[in-house]
Amino acid sequence: MKIKNIFYTLAVFLFAFIMTTSGAFATPPIAGLAGGYQPIEINNDIRTVAEFAVQAQEKREHKPLKLVAISTAAQQVVEGVNYQLELTVTRGNNSYRATAIVFQSLHATYELTSWQWQINR
């Protein structure tokens, strides 16, 4: 009887060990949770964010800039949303590429947190 109880306890322990280490109870990742950037569709809302970024950078540089195109857009969900945009803008008569990051707070306000001009090669 004692051997049977030991065998039963060992079998339950082994089963529990295998199930927990095999990932059988692992939770799959859920899209949209805080983490890395995820590509998103370029729509009118994203165009509004891009226009904000260009206007904010224009104020920083004190030079007129105009949005020409949005190449790619991605978002990162944090306490709000970070938008990463690859843009083409004109400054004077020349076109340039830039990467902008715009933070949208939970109160729907925008802040340009990063602007990097891309070097054309």
Tell me if 21 is assigned to some domain.
no
Tell me if 14 is assigned to some domain.
no
Tell me if 95 is assigned to some domain.
yes
Tell me if 87 is assigned to some domain.
yes
Give the per-residue pLDDT at 119. Answer: 82
Mean pLDDT of the chain: 85
Tell me if 99 is assigned to some domain.
yes
Contact 40, 46 (CB under 8 A): yes
Where would I find the H helices in the chain? 2-21, 44-61
CATH of the domain at 71: 3.10.450.10
Tell me if 84 is assigned to some domain.
yes
Domain range for 87? 38-117
Instruction: Specify the number of domains making up the chain.
Output: 1
Tell me if 12 is assigned to some domain.
no
Work out the average pLDDT over 16-21: 59
Tell me if 5 is assigned to some domain.
no
Distance CA(35)–CA(75), nearest Å, equals 10
**Residue 12 scores a pLDDT above 80:** no
Work out the average pLDDT over 8-37: 59
Work out the average pLDDT over 37-50: 97
Contact 97, 64 (CB under 8 A): no
> Which pLDDT band, with edges at 50, 70 and 90, does 4 fall under?
low
Contacts of 22 (CB under 8 A, 6+ apart): none
Helix count (H) and strand count (E) of the chain?
Answer: 2, 5
Which is more confident, 15 or 98? 98
Three-state secondary structure call for residue 119: coil
- What would the DSSP string read from start to end of 28-49? PP-TTSSSS-EE----HHHHHH
Give the per-residue pLDDT at 29. Answer: 47
Distance CA(1)–CA(105), nearest Å, equals 65
Question: Over the stretch 66-109, which tens digit does the pLDDT of each residue have?
Answer: 999 999 999 999 999 999 999 999 999 999 999 999 999 999 99
